[in-house]
Chains A and B, each alone.
Chain A
Amino acid sequence: MKTENQKAWFFVLPVLLLVAFNALIPMMTVVNYSVQETFGDNVFFWQGLDWFQQILRSDRFHAALGRQFMFTFLILIIEIPLGIAIALSMPRKGFWVPVCLVLMALPMLIPWNVVGAMWNIFTLPDIGLLGYFLNHTLGINYDMTQDPVAAWITIVTMDVWHWTSLVVLLSYAGLVSIPDAYYQAAKIDGASNWAVFRFIQLPKMKTVLTIAILLRFMDSFNIYTEPFVLTGGGPGNSTTLLSIDLVKIALGQFDLGPAAAMSLIYFAITLLVSWLFYTVMTKDDQN
């Protein structure tokens, strides 16, 4: 006989409370703001879905969203192949394994705002090591504070520098889990290096790569600190990504209603893309 009681709720309670206080309640506050208007003094007026309509129709939002997708697309298209390539060329055994792993992990250990500050100073045309070298030694006009293209190259390079390691470490973990017999069998079957990659390494890395892409998508789509410290969204609005724009509206202009509506839309897009991607990638495994 199974005895039924309600004791289990007590065990879930701490998690429930934790999630409530750090996610559900703040989130519901945002939902609350998104349908109201305030002029301060804690006085609110019902606004319905007006803010959502306004945001979805605004050119400013479309532009920021476009830049956001552009940024995420660029860093994924660079970081994923580069990460796989580095993982493939790392040694599988011996003295150099820990050395490579530590070197790879280093960039990820640096706080985000420090990374932004580092790259800011590094690329400044007159005092930065790279900036000075490019402008004064090579004579290339490179100024990320003036030129949107230079600003974009800098934020993308910075993200690649900071986060390719994550893809490398995940791919490497996938690679080392492949038993030697697979490589031996492929040798005997006369498979080319490309065939080994295509039919053994890539399929075995699929799960970890799915996770790597998902993590990189979410992180880069929500990125704020690094580009804010580096370019502050400029020059002009050229590197104003969604999150930077959001903070400008919420804290700069103190438009809590539109900012709340925008963050909910933002959240929905992140969730939708992640869900779509994950569903498509894992569809094969289920049948």
Chain B
Amino acid sequence: MAKITLSKLRHSYMPNPSSASDYALKEIDLDWTDGGAYALLGPSGCGKSTLLNIISGLLVPSEGQILFDGKDVTKLPPDQRNIAQVFQFPVIYDTMTVYDNLAFPLRNRGRDEATVKERVMAIAEMLEVTDLLDTRAAGLSPDNKQKISMGRGLVREDVNVVMFDEPLTVIDPHLKWKLRSKLKELHQRVKATMIYVTHDQTEALTFADQVVVMQLGEVVQIGTPVELFERPAHTFVGHFIGSPGMNVLPCELRAGQPYIGSHPIALEGPIKGDAAGKTEVGIRPEFVSLADSGLPATVTKVSDVGRHTVVECEAEGHRINAVVEGAGPNKGDTVHLAFRQDQTRLYVDGWIATEAAESAAQSQSAEEAR
């Protein structure tokens, strides 16, 4: 197990990258602490699989370094890095039994059969596949196949990091939940660093202690699930996390005060910097409420999603979502929208530009957000 450091990492699939858009990964500096559970979250094509393949050594980055416990491994092949990877589609060796599949990484490294047996039995028990050990791997169901490929990753006791590349894609929905909690449990038992790549926010937020959100080859925010939800550092994070995503409303700054149309908006704190560029107000639907006064809006759609009601409104030509408890208004009603001040932020060119309200207010709203 090791601490993994990515230093000034850049990668391009082209031989002679010239502009920033030629890079699949743009300048990444990251530290993964030993034993952490990380998720790498982002839409398809954001570079998360590229980053994963660089850490595992399947890809050599164009620029920059990867350090395991301070040791440069940038040029080392995968088998010398002591890492494990679980792929999107279960990789199993068809002709072998489940036992031989699990023993394969150990036998390739010349461990004696007694050690192999001990490790395989321990892992099989953890994954609850002990009764399958003698069956041929080819006939297993997809979720068991994926368990076996996870098992092959975990069977070596000295792995630096276990990486999961969208491992639940081919698993039936009702088994997804089971495997996900299994993974969480495994992480607590084996204490290895785990990196979980996914484009599914539920998977990322339930698995990880720290979520790294990527977009267009860049890391836009690193934080705990609550932090990502509470204070998205970038409008992309706001959009991407939460359902429905954050309301991002273009606004105009007049003497340091943002206006949506002619309506002034109160922000959580003072604005950082000179705020030159495209300015937007960001607020989560959870913190928009229907009130007697506020931004006037027309209700365009009301959807009851079970626990609460999502009210879709239109104000000053922008769409705003509000989450309300109980029955909402009717379609076509005119309402007033109130924004909770400590949850209203200003974004300049996509990045957050307000200073946080006092920490007390933050932790209180964190409670409420649950």
Q: Shortest Cβ distance from A279 into chain B, in angstroms?
A: 19
CA distance A247 to B84 in the complex (A): 64
A188, B84: Cβ atoms closer than 8 Å: yes
Question: In chain B between 286 and 335, which residues have their CB closer than 8 angstroms to a CB of chain A?
Answer: none
B56 within 8 A of A: yes
Which residue of A181, A188, A191 contacts B89 across the interface (Cβ within 8 Å)?
A181
Q: Shortest Cβ distance from A223 into chain B, in angstroms?
A: 33
B108, A189: Cβ atoms closer than 8 Å: yes
Q: Shortest Cβ distance from A255 into chain B, in angstroms?
A: 51
B96, A184: Cβ atoms closer than 8 Å: no
Given contacts A185-B149, A189-B104, A192-B108, contact A200 B93 (CB under 8 A): yes
Q: Shortest Cβ distance from B134 into chain A, in angstroms?
A: 14
B242 within 8 A of A: no
A21 cross-chain contacts in B, Cβ below 8 A: none
A191 cross-chain contacts in B, Cβ below 8 A: 104, 108
Output the residue of A185, A191, A192 with the most chain B CB within 10 A. Answer: A185
B79, A184: Cβ atoms closer than 8 Å: no
Given contacts A184-B78, A184-B85, contact A190 B93 (CB under 8 A): no
A188, B85: Cβ atoms closer than 8 Å: yes
B79, A187: Cβ atoms closer than 8 Å: yes
A200 cross-chain contacts in B, Cβ below 8 A: 93
Which residue of B79, B91, B95 contacts A182 across the interface (Cβ within 8 Å)?
B91
B125 within 8 A of A: no
B91, A185: Cβ atoms closer than 8 Å: yes
The majority secondary structure among interface residues of chain A is: helix
Which residue of A184, A187, A188, A199 contacts B95 across the interface (Cβ within 8 Å)?
A199
CA distance A3 to B247 in the complex (A): 59
A98 within 8 A of B: no
B78, A188: Cβ atoms closer than 8 Å: yes
Question: In chain B between 86 and 127, which residues have their CB closer than 8 angstroms to a CB of chain A?
Answer: 87-89, 91, 93-96, 104-105, 108-109
CA distance A191 to B88 in the complex (A): 20
Q: Shortest Cβ distance from A134 into chain B, in angstroms?
A: 44
B58 within 8 A of A: yes
Question: In chain A between 163 and 197, which residues have their CB closer than 8 angstroms to a CB of chain B?
Answer: 179, 181-182, 184-185, 187-192, 195
B152 within 8 A of A: yes
Q: Shortest Cβ distance from B370 into chain A, in angstroms?
A: 38
Q: How large is the interface on A (under 10, 10 to 19, 20 to 34, 35 or more residues)?
A: 10 to 19
A182 cross-chain contacts in B, Cβ below 8 A: 91
B153 cross-chain contacts in A, Cβ below 8 A: 188
CA distance A19 to B56 in the complex (A): 58
**Interface 1/0 per residue, B1-15 and A, CB below 8 Å:** 000000000000000
B17 cross-chain contacts in A, Cβ below 8 A: none
Which residue of A179, A181, A189, A199 contacts B105 across the interface (Cβ within 8 Å)?
A189
B83 within 8 A of A: yes
A190 cross-chain contacts in B, Cβ below 8 A: 79, 105, 108-109
B152, A189: Cβ atoms closer than 8 Å: yes
Residue of B nearest to A192 (CB): B108
B56, A188: Cβ atoms closer than 8 Å: yes
Q: Shortest Cβ distance from B100 into chain A, in angstroms?
A: 9
B45 within 8 A of A: no
B142 cross-chain contacts in A, Cβ below 8 A: none
Q: Shortest Cβ distance from B291 into chain A, in angstroms?
A: 53
Residue of B nearest to A204 (CB): B94
Q: Shortest Cβ distance from A2 into chain B, in angstroms?
A: 33
Which residue of A181, A188, A199, A204 contacts B79 across the interface (Cβ within 8 Å)?
A188
B270 within 8 A of A: no
Which residue of B58, B94, B96 contacts A187 across the interface (Cβ within 8 Å)?
B58
Question: In chain A between 192 and 228, which residues have their CB closer than 8 angstroms to a CB of chain B?
Answer: 192, 195, 199-200, 203-204
Residue of A nearest to B88 (CB): A181
B79, A185: Cβ atoms closer than 8 Å: no
B77 within 8 A of A: yes
Q: Shortest Cβ distance from B162 into chain A, in angstroms?
A: 10
B58 cross-chain contacts in A, Cβ below 8 A: 184, 187
Which residue of B89, B96, B152 contacts A199 across the interface (Cβ within 8 Å)?
B96
Given contacts A181-B87, A181-B88, A192-B108, contact A187 B77 (CB under 8 A): yes
Q: Shortest Cβ distance from B60 into chain A, in angstroms?
A: 13
Residue of B nearest to A182 (CB): B91
Residue of A nearest to B155 (CB): A189
Q: Shortest Cβ distance from A86 into chain B, in angstroms?
A: 23
CA distance A249 to B91 in the complex (A): 57
Which residue of B83, B93, B94, B96 contacts A188 across the interface (Cβ within 8 Å)?
B83
B91, A195: Cβ atoms closer than 8 Å: no
B56 cross-chain contacts in A, Cβ below 8 A: 184, 188
Q: Shortest Cβ distance from A218 into chain B, in angstroms?
A: 27
A185, B108: Cβ atoms closer than 8 Å: no
**Interface 1/0 per residue, B57-90 and A, CB below 8 Å:** 0100000000000000000011100011101110
CA distance A101 to B104 in the complex (A): 35
A179 cross-chain contacts in B, Cβ below 8 A: 89
B84 cross-chain contacts in A, Cβ below 8 A: 188
Which residue of B53, B85, B95 contacts A185 across the interface (Cβ within 8 Å)?
B85
CA distance A184 to B81 in the complex (A): 13
CA distance A184 to B77 in the complex (A): 11
CA distance A182 to B95 in the complex (A): 14
Please name 10 further chain A to chain B contacts, defined as beta carbons within 8 Å, in addition to the given A184-B87, A191-B104, sorted by A numbering: A181-B88, A181-B91, A184-B53, A184-B58, A184-B78, A185-B85, A188-B56, A188-B79, A189-B108, A190-B105
Nearest 5 A/B pairs, CB to CB = A190-B108, A185-B91, A190-B79, A181-B87, A189-B105
Give 7 A-B contacts (CB < 8 Å), ordered by A residue. A185-B85, A185-B91, A188-B84, A188-B153, A189-B105, A190-B79, A199-B95
